């Protein structure tokens, strides 16, 4: 929990002060690039590319059912990337069922009203669960920006401390119950060792899939 204090993940020495948050961020970026790469690498077959998109939608739904809300955000970040979002013909080939699931996931994770839907889902979910840390990081940034640690006269701002502890307690509660899942080593190795495309490569592949008009 200390890595969330004092906006450690935003400091110049963030790799020392928040190594786990930085590791999680790098892994999330890898997952996003993996998903994008999987879709745009299917260049020569529109039907197969649409099927890949549908599988990713089902992955997002499965993660939502597992209360892995960070995973859901990773999936949606990939599908909203410029390389995937522009693939109109592919989306037209995707079944309506998958569009409904996609829309539901987008509504769940929308940032509107300060992530109102996602916060409600997290608060009502039975553990285990993995929250989207960006919600809490946003709360802490706002709190740090709007509230000083000390009030006039050198008094400690206990209201700020209380709000900070509330956010951290929510995060800690998410860690109390582990998942009872059996790891599939082959899949773990496949995703971990996948050589992802960078943003420029992915966009060029996207153009190969569907050239500009």
- pLDDT tens per residue, the chain (213 residues)? 899 999 999 999 999 999 999 999 999 999 999 999 999 999 889 999 999 999 999 999 999 999 999 999 999 999 999 999 999 999 999 999 999 999 999 999 999 999 999 999 999 999 999 999 999 999 999 999 988 888 878 888 899 999 999 999 999 999 899 999 999 999 999 999 999 999 999 999 999 999 997
* pTM exceeds cut of 0.85: yes
Three-state SS string over 21-74 comes to: HHHHHHHHHHHHHHHHHHHHCCCCCHHHHHHHHHHHHHHHHHHHHCCEHHHHHH
Report pLDDT for 7: 94
Q: Which bin fits 6, alpha (ψ -120 to 50), beta or left (φ > 0)?
A: left
Class of domain 2-126+181-209: mainly alpha
**DSSP label at residue 141:** H
């Amino acid at each position: 929990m200390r890595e969330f204090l004092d906006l450690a993940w935003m400091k110049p020495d963030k790799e020392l002060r928040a190594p786990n948050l930085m590791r999680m961020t790098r892994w999330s970026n890898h997952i996003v690039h993996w998903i994008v790469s999987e879709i745009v690498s299917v260049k020569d077959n529109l039907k197969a590319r649409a099927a890949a998109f549908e599988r990713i939608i089902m992955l997002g739904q499965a993660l939502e059912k597992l209360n892995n809300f960070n995973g859901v955000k990773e999936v949606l970040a990939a599908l909203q990337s410029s390389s995937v979002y522009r693939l109109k013909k592919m989306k037209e080939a995707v079944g309506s069922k998958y569009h409904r699931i996609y829309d539901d996931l987008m509504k769940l994770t929308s940032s509107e009203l300060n992530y109102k839907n996602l916060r409600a889902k997290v608060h009502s979910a039975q553990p285990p669960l993995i929250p989207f840390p960006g919600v809490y990081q946003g709360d802490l940034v706002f709190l740090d920006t709007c509230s000083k640690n000390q009030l006039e006269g050198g008094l400690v701002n206990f209201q700020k401390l209380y709000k900070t502890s509330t956010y951290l307690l929510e995060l800690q509660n998410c860690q109390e119950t582990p998942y009872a899942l059996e790891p599939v080593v082959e899949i773990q190795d496949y995703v971990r060792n996948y050589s992802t495309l960078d943003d420029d490569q992915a966009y060029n592949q996207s153009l190969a899939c569907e050239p500009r008009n």
